[in-house]
Amino acid sequence: MERLKRARHAMNVWNGTSLTPRSMDPILVIGPDGPFQRTLAREVESLPAPVLTADTLSAAAETLRSGEGPPSIVLLPESEIHTDDFESELAELRIRTGSPRLVPIAFGRAPNDSRRAEIRQAGVDLALFGRFGRHALRFQINRALSPLCDRAPRGELRAPKEWRTRAYSSGREKAVRCYSLSSGGAYFVTPRPWVVGSEITLELPVGLDRLLIMGSILYTNVGDDAARRTLPRGMAVAFRPLSEHIQQVIREDVTVTHQALKV
């Protein structure tokens, strides 16, 4: 019974934004044409998701029409967010494209506290500040698409990771990549996940340490394209009960990562 309770608690780690059905509405990428914007557009396409591009929000409102499919998310440089005009520009874009809901995600250098306050005042909550990888991009898009994105997270805080590491089970070894992490569990990307219920040992490069953590596989994602639009192919792992020290080390690491994901 206790083990079942732990498994249910760990499953709560993955409910919510992790399992949000992927919208097929286009994602709008704002910014002048250049290497970064082109790379960002390719990464969005690889999720996969349709991509629209424009230099500015006002240009997007002029050129995009509802017949092209209304965007659901707009990725834009934080320098493009002007508090006096942003909300009206976003509203105009939503009206012109017929989008019922358009969630902005800011990217760029991490701003100072006063600039963050300005961006929040403009109605932007989600961010990809600093350097970010494919997992952080997918993680934030999932959050933006979730109907719960405006609510505070329940249970243990999760954050995306890009770690390459190894997993062990029944004498076998597998190279995996950590997609997201909390103190209760993690999701690992691998083309051939082990079966649900397998007991495994994981190496986690948290901080300056390399922790060996035991757990069991709660579920795997080996489904169709629709399932893989939400999560990459892989497996969700519930950790066995951890010492308070290790839980705190993981929580601190997750908290630091999360600072770049919110305004």
Q: Over the stretch 20-53, which tens digit does the pLDDT of each residue have?
A: 444 578 999 999 999 999 999 999 998 888 899 9
The answer to whether domain 2-14+156-258 and domain 21-145 are alike in fold is: no
Q: Over the stretch 129-169, which tens digit does the pLDDT of each residue have?
A: 999 999 999 999 999 988 765 555 557 899 999 999 999 99
> Once rounded to an integer, what is the mean pLDDT over residues 214-221?
95
Residue 254's pLDDT band (cuts 50, 70, 90): very high
Looking at residue 211, what is its pLDDT? 84
pLDDT of 122 above 60: yes
The phi, psi pair for 59, rounded to 5°, reads -65, -40
Residue 55's pLDDT band (cuts 50, 70, 90): very high
Looking at residue 4, what is its pLDDT? 41
CA distance 225 to 232: 10
pLDDT of 9 above 90: no
> Once rounded to an integer, what is the mean pLDDT over residues 244-261?
92
> Residue 220, exposed/middle/buried by CB under 10 A (0-12, 13-18, 19+)?
middle
Q: Over the stretch 220-235, which tens digit does the pLDDT of each residue have?
A: 998 765 555 678 899 9
Looking at residue 151, what is its pLDDT? 53
- How many alpha carbons fall within 13 Å on the CB side of residue 177? 14
* Direct distance between the N- and C-terminal alpha carbons of the chain, in angstroms, rounded to an integer: 41
For the chain, give every domain's residue range: 2-14+156-258, 21-145
CA 20, 261, 26, 188 dihedral sign is negative
Residue 80's pLDDT band (cuts 50, 70, 90): very high
> Would you call 53 helix, strand, or coil by DSSP?
strand
Looking at residue 148, what is its pLDDT? 62
CA distance 138 to 184: 21
CA 24, 17, 219, 211 dihedral sign is positive
CA distance 44 to 81: 21
Superfamily of domain 2-14+156-258: predicted glycosyltransferase like domains (2.40.10.220)
Which tokens sit at 202?
């994981």
Residue 259's identity, in one-letter code, is Q
**Mean pLDDT, all residues of the chain:** 86
- What pTM did the predictor assign? 0.84
Distances from the Cα of 43 to the Cα of 38, 129, 132, 181, angstroms = 9, 16, 11, 21
CA 224, 230, 235, 238 dihedral sign is negative
Residue 27's identity, in one-letter code, is I
Looking at residue 242, what is its pLDDT? 93
> Residue 113, exposed/middle/buried by CB under 10 A (0-12, 13-18, 19+)?
exposed
Architecture of the domain spanning 21-145 = 3-Layer(aba) Sandwich (3.40)
